[in-house]
Chain A
Amino acid sequence: MEPLIQLRNMEKVYEAGGSKFYVLRRVSLEIQPGEFVTFMGPSGAGKSTLLSIIGMLDGSWTGEYYFNGEPVHRLNVKKRNELHKANIGFVFQSYHLIDNLTVFENLEIPLSYKNVPHKERVSLVCDILDRFNIVGKKDLFPNQLSGGQQQLVGVARAVIQSPKLILADEPTGNLHSAQGEEIMELFRKLNEAGTSIIQVTHSERNAAYSHRVIQLKDGWVVSETSNAARVG
């Protein structure tokens, strides 16, 4: 089976004051469709940067990156953007819901960026509100929700466009343990339904939900461990 993600010798460098600072060094890895992978490592290891690159938010790197067989390293910004829109959903540690938009509008926004017709958008948003059991919250603004509820909306927003891949950067970092568990359970269910997930976390407990843990340090991939016993 063709890997969903294939990175070869990926490097990212910052230049500051005439000297080079490597954030990622010769990173090569493969992630299969339907896989749930965790990036772990100390602060400054390059986890979030790697996530941004895989999410195609960051285009300044060297090496090769294939997404579902498409050579991302050869695509221009527009095509890369299209690929990102069609296949990737994000979940952030700080939820990053848009403050001025209601729950309904926050869920609608990725669909509007994909030029989904209005009627279809409304129907998809209603479905997801129902699926995540947050219909009653649809007209509330983010500041009227608890952290857990905001992250729930964040996950719903990532899922609404049925992405092949969800990228989650410390998705439970700002939540208390019960809320965090709820979100991780949600990820597990999404993964079981076929969505690939990559998460960045410091939490061993969260990492236990994934199939594989990739350790990074100073920009290098230092180890890969398979999770024999997933939480379940």
Chain B
Amino acid sequence: MSSLWQDIRYALRMLANKPAFTLVAVLTLALGIGATSAVFSVVDRILFRSLPYSHDEQLVSVGLFAPIEPREFMLAKDYLEWRAEQKPFESMTTFTPGGADCDLTGQNPVRLNCALVESTFLTTFGIEPILGRNFTKEEDRPHAPRVALITYGLWRSRFAGDPAVVGRSISVDGQPTTVVGVLPAEFEMPTPGKADMLVPQALDEASLEGNGPQGILRAFARLKPGVTIAQSLRALEPLFERSLPQYGPEFRDGLRLSVRSLRDRQVADSKGASWVLLGSVMAVLLVACTNVANLLLARTNSRQKELAVRAALGASRARLARQNLTESLLLGIIGGTIGCWLAYSLLQLFESIAPEGIPHLQQASLDARVVLFTVGVSLVSGTLFGLAPAMRHPAPEVLAGKASRQTSGGLLRQILVASQVAISLILLTGAGLLLHSLWRLEAVPLGMDTESVMTSRITLAKYRYPSQQSQVAFFKELLSRLRQMPGIIAIGISDTLPPFGGSMATTYSHIEAPARPSVPNGGGGMVGWRSVTPGYFSALGVPIVRGRAFSEADTGPSENPVILSEALAKRLFPGEDPLGRSLRMEREGPWRQVVGIAADVRNNGLREPSDPEYYVPWKMDPAGHFQEGYITLRTAIHPETVAKRLRQETARLDPSVPVTMQTMKQRVGKLSERPRFNAMLLTLFAGMGVLMAGIGIYGVVGFLVSQRTREIGVRLALGASPRTIMKMVMANVARWTIAGALLGLLGSWYALKLLRSLLFEVSVRDPWPAAAALLLLLIAAFLAAWVPARRAMRVDPIEALRYE
């Protein structure tokens, strides 16, 4: 024990005596370990950590997939039948997607997110309230007395953690509601989105008997022990077949049954990127370790005499290795400690720049598990980079004053640097591909002008605006007030807004036009539509390519104009003039006259082509949806100034109405946030890799030059010019840099296949990013080698021949 302490003491002294070496090694490691821990803390939640539900491996998401709804859904009637007849699950449960805004009224009203869940929700997920109880079946029925389960956060913030809250009546949307329980602190909904309160879904089973419209549900289940997902799929197949006829033929073809693990559902589109990021950051760590190993090898070389003396004084090979490992482990621990702090800062940076929708990012923290990972990484990397120097045994001839030329150390160092070059090249090529893809994505034409446009989403509380009249009246009044604001060029209201967020949709085959051949029922796919006010097109900068935009006269009760997108016009009336033609968009709907053709707008994200769509005037309509509206303002002044005024005007009209605002640029920017985030991180890691490879090359060339000083002196004395010496050194560097680069190109060929799902209109075999990465790396290698190579040029032969 005392000898171990002695090793530690000596190691600490060694590190303190070589501050430059220690600083470079510690910082290199801190960077590697810090970045790895930060990324691990994010991807751990996505890839490895169990979900906060007991036996989470048994939880599955169940339902149907349709081309228009890429996440499992179920219609309520199907669900009730399946729930009654299914065999593979211990229990099934549902909640209503999207939840509902609900207001905690009474004193200091506040808007909350309420999740409408079934009474079996908690039991299926294995969640126990920390106070009170779950809903009863009786409470989960229509017209039952209103009850709620509140989250831990709400309990602490709103009710000061008072246990007596259970049984208390609170006012939700103006209705008395009894709190029956408090959820545990670690509770989270199985889908993204936050819930402050759970309220019973209260499915009206009786009303589902007929063929009326049904709500969409998200269904989850707990597999019986021993039942696999594949078995459950087979068991549900007959129920699925039986449900199919109730779907219209336009949907039926694309429908399929799906059962997948809850984890898969949660992380589906983040899994690939998570593995890529984890892989990249581990590669950075490897480069860092290689660098430190290189530094230690160089130092071991300069410590040959000391190690030989220790061996002569009786130190066994194991003891010498232990001394070496103690030093490298200490470096690992110091690097890990600073890395922990760095990880904390990086994590905060990730959280601030990360796009929405990265699962569990908000919960990511440097908890015990991540710290354990960091400690593990520090120790493993400490051992890893200490191993090579520790394995070397000092040569006894050093003690006789003879110089020992251990070429194996030099070779090992060159191999290490070649590996760094290879890894850095893979990272750089990957970053190049993502950046190229991002550039392509951001260059996609949107079909609208996003410059100087502010958008605002306003959702009205149903209990305050229960009728369409009151909802429309609110928006009309707001519109008229906003028109008075200075600096407004155009203003529009719509029920939905591109380029995402969905829109209302009808089936192409339902659109009727006189003299147009009929389309088989269900054929032609879906056609989106929006209801918009006359100012919508100019506010959003969507060009009307033919005809006209809507006017105020079009909002009259008997007016039914329609504006088609170019894509829809071409499809409905190929080679004909659509203006003035009559159309019926729904079977029971009114006939509408085409008054204009609008340019196609990206309405389904940047990666998908523009879908055909049409526009109808925003006005009172029993089929319309007015509880939510998007206000679009084109301004001549700074959008942020307009935002302030908009908020003030809305508050003057009704202070309880929440307003969410974004510039159109921000809104569109969200579409490329995730690719930008991925590209940014990979570029950061690639940059770190190149920097470290540069330091590695600098170190190795410096080492080679110092090792060959005598040889260089002899060559110079024999008449070699400094230029020849420079060429000799650079040729050596070029040899293993090119070897590393070739290895890196080969590695890229295989490793970058992982990026395929993250790329947009760029092939993983795109040669340009690889060529640019290679060029960048060669320049970095050249610059890193230049300084020590110049030193070689300036060697004084007289001094060198005296060199020991």
> Is the Cβ of A96 less than 8 Å from the Cβ of B399?
yes
B residues near A146, Cβ cutoff 8 Å: none
A114 adjacent to chain B (CB < 8 Å) = yes
- List which A74-124 residues lie within 8 A (CB) of chain B: 77-78, 81, 84-85, 90, 92-94, 96-101, 105, 109-110, 112-115, 117-118
B residues near A157, Cβ cutoff 8 Å: 313
Bound-complex Cα distance A177 to B312 (A): 27
> Is the Cβ of A57 less than 8 Å from the Cβ of B313?
no
Bound-complex Cα distance A77 to B317 (A): 9
Given A94-B401, A169-B400, A112 and B14 touching (CB < 8 A)? no
> Is the Cβ of A96 less than 8 Å from the Cβ of B13?
no
Q: Tell me, rounded to whole Å, the shortest Cβ–Cβ distance linking B804 to chain A.
A: 10
Which of B3, B13, B400, B401 is within 8 Å of A112, CB to CB?
B3
> Is the Cβ of A55 less than 8 Å from the Cβ of B312?
yes
B residues near A117, Cβ cutoff 8 Å: 2
A residues near B319, Cβ cutoff 8 Å: 113
Bound-complex Cα distance A52 to B400 (A): 9
A residues near B13, Cβ cutoff 8 Å: 100
Which of B2, B10, B312, B399 is within 8 Å of A101, CB to CB?
B10
B6 adjacent to chain A (CB < 8 Å) = yes
Q: Tell me, rounded to whole Å, the shortest Cβ–Cβ distance linking B372 to chain A.
A: 33
Bound-complex Cα distance A85 to B312 (A): 9
> Is the Cβ of B396 less than 8 Å from the Cβ of A58?
yes
A68 adjacent to chain B (CB < 8 Å) = no
> Is the Cβ of B310 less than 8 Å from the Cβ of A98?
yes
- Which of chain B's residues has its CB closest to A157's CB? B313
The A contact surface, by secondary structure, is mixed
Q: Tell me, rounded to whole Å, the shortest Cβ–Cβ distance linking A55 to chain B.
A: 7
A residues near B17, Cβ cutoff 8 Å: 100
> Is the Cβ of B396 less than 8 Å from the Cβ of A57?
yes
- List which A102-161 residues lie within 8 A (CB) of chain B: 105, 109-110, 112-115, 117-118, 157, 161
B residues near A97, Cβ cutoff 8 Å: 309
- List which B267-318 residues lie within 8 A (CB) of chain A: 305-306, 308-317
- Which of chain A's residues has its CB closest to B9's CB? A105
A residues near B10, Cβ cutoff 8 Å: 100-101, 105
Interface size band for B: 20 to 34
B residues near A58, Cβ cutoff 8 Å: 396
Which of A48, A114, A118 is within 8 Å of B2, CB to CB?
A118
Q: Tell me, rounded to whole Å, the shortest Cβ–Cβ distance linking B746 to chain A.
A: 35
A residues near B309, Cβ cutoff 8 Å: 92, 96-98
> Is the Cβ of A110 less than 8 Å from the Cβ of B401?
no
> Is the Cβ of B315 less than 8 Å from the Cβ of A113?
yes
A residues near B6, Cβ cutoff 8 Å: 112
Bound-complex Cα distance A91 to B14 (A): 24
Given A100-B14, A117-B2, A85 and B399 touching (CB < 8 A)? no
Given A100-B13, A100-B14, A113 and B399 touching (CB < 8 A)? no
> Is the Cβ of A48 less than 8 Å from the Cβ of B313?
no
B residues near A169, Cβ cutoff 8 Å: 399-400
A residues near B397, Cβ cutoff 8 Å: 48-49, 52
> Is the Cβ of B313 less than 8 Å from the Cβ of A90?
yes
Most chain B CB within 10 A, of A105, A112, A161, is at A112
Bound-complex Cα distance A94 to B305 (A): 10
> Is the Cβ of A109 less than 8 Å from the Cβ of B310?
yes
Interface size band for A: 20 to 34
- Which of chain A's residues has its CB closest to B306's CB? A98
A residues near B312, Cβ cutoff 8 Å: 55, 57, 90, 92, 96
Bound-complex Cα distance A55 to B14 (A): 28
Bound-complex Cα distance A138 to B357 (A): 65
Q: Tell me, rounded to whole Å, the shortest Cβ–Cβ distance linking A201 to chain B.
A: 13
Q: Tell me, rounded to whole Å, the shortest Cβ–Cβ distance linking A19 to chain B.
A: 19
The B contact surface, by secondary structure, is helix
Bound-complex Cα distance A49 to B10 (A): 30
Bound-complex Cα distance A58 to B2 (A): 29
> Is the Cβ of A113 less than 8 Å from the Cβ of B396?
no
> Is the Cβ of B314 less than 8 Å from the Cβ of A93?
no
Q: Tell me, rounded to whole Å, the shortest Cβ–Cβ distance linking B8 to chain A.
A: 13
Bound-complex Cα distance A81 to B315 (A): 8
Bound-complex Cα distance A208 to B657 (A): 107
Bound-complex Cα distance A98 to B13 (A): 12
Bound-complex Cα distance A77 to B393 (A): 13
Q: Tell me, rounded to whole Å, the shortest Cβ–Cβ distance linking A97 to chain B.
A: 8
Bound-complex Cα distance A112 to B399 (A): 21
- Which of chain B's residues has its CB closest to A98's CB? B306
Which of A52, A96, A114 is within 8 Å of B314, CB to CB?
A114
Most chain A CB within 10 A, of B14, B306, B319, B400, is at B400
Which of B3, B310, B401 is within 8 Å of A115, CB to CB?
B3
Bound-complex Cα distance A96 to B398 (A): 10
Given A115-B3, A169-B399, A84 and B314 touching (CB < 8 A)? yes
Bound-complex Cα distance A98 to B314 (A): 14
> Is the Cβ of A99 less than 8 Å from the Cβ of B401?
no
B residues near A114, Cβ cutoff 8 Å: 314
Q: Could you mark each residue 1-26 of chain B with 1 if its beta carbon is under 8 Å from any beta carbon of chain A, else 0?
A: 01100100010011001000000000
- Which of chain B's residues has its CB closest to A81's CB? B316
Bound-complex Cα distance A118 to B316 (A): 19
- Which of chain A's residues has its CB closest to B399's CB? A92
Bound-complex Cα distance A48 to B17 (A): 32
Bound-complex Cα distance A97 to B399 (A): 11
- Which of chain B's residues has its CB closest to A174's CB? B401
A residues near B399, Cβ cutoff 8 Å: 52, 57, 90, 92, 96, 169
> Is the Cβ of A52 less than 8 Å from the Cβ of B2?
no
Q: Could you mark each residue 13-52 of chain A with 1 if its beta carbon is under 8 Å from any beta carbon of chain B, else 0?
A: 0000000000000000000000000000000000011001
A residues near B306, Cβ cutoff 8 Å: 98-100
Given A113-B319, A117-B2, A118-B2, A48 and B311 touching (CB < 8 A)? no
> Is the Cβ of B311 less than 8 Å from the Cβ of A57?
yes
> Is the Cβ of A93 less than 8 Å from the Cβ of B401?
yes
A residues near B313, Cβ cutoff 8 Å: 90, 109-110, 113, 157
B residues near A118, Cβ cutoff 8 Å: 2
Bound-complex Cα distance A84 to B319 (A): 15
> Is the Cβ of B314 less than 8 Å from the Cβ of A110?
yes
A residues near B3, Cβ cutoff 8 Å: 112, 115
B residues near A113, Cβ cutoff 8 Å: 310, 313-316, 319
Q: Tell me, rounded to whole Å, the shortest Cβ–Cβ distance linking A93 to chain B.
A: 6
Bound-complex Cα distance A96 to B246 (A): 92
B residues near A109, Cβ cutoff 8 Å: 310, 313
Q: Tell me, rounded to whole Å, the shortest Cβ–Cβ distance linking B9 to chain A.
A: 9
- Which of chain A's residues has its CB closest to B319's CB? A113
- Which of chain B's residues has its CB closest to A48's CB? B400
B residues near A48, Cβ cutoff 8 Å: 397, 400
Bound-complex Cα distance A98 to B319 (A): 16
Bound-complex Cα distance A78 to B306 (A): 21
Q: Tell me, rounded to whole Å, the shortest Cβ–Cβ distance linking A223 to chain B.
A: 23
- Which of chain B's residues has its CB closest to A59's CB? B396
B residues near A77, Cβ cutoff 8 Å: 317
> Is the Cβ of B316 less than 8 Å from the Cβ of A78?
yes
B residues near A112, Cβ cutoff 8 Å: 2-3, 6
Q: Could you mark each residue 48-76 of chain A with 1 if its beta carbon is under 8 Å from any beta carbon of chain B, else 0?
A: 11001001011000000000000000000
Bound-complex Cα distance A117 to B315 (A): 16
Q: Tell me, rounded to whole Å, the shortest Cβ–Cβ distance linking B317 to chain A.
A: 7
Bound-complex Cα distance A190 to B6 (A): 30
Q: What are 28 A-B interface contacts by the 8 Å CB criterion?
A: A48-B397, A52-B400, A57-B311, A57-B399, A78-B316, A81-B316, A84-B314, A85-B314, A92-B312, A92-B399, A93-B400, A93-B401, A96-B305, A96-B308, A96-B399, A98-B309, A99-B306, A100-B14, A100-B17, A100-B306, A109-B310, A112-B2, A112-B3, A113-B314, A113-B315, A117-B2, A157-B313, A169-B399
Beyond contacts A81-B316, A85-B314, A117-B2: 12 other A-B pairs, Cβ-Cβ < 8 A, are: A48-B400, A55-B312, A92-B309, A96-B308, A96-B312, A97-B309, A98-B306, A99-B306, A112-B6, A115-B3, A118-B2, A169-B399
Nearest 10 CB-CB pairs, A to B?
A: A85-B314, A113-B314, A48-B400, A57-B396, A110-B313, A96-B309, A118-B2, A52-B396, A90-B312, A113-B315
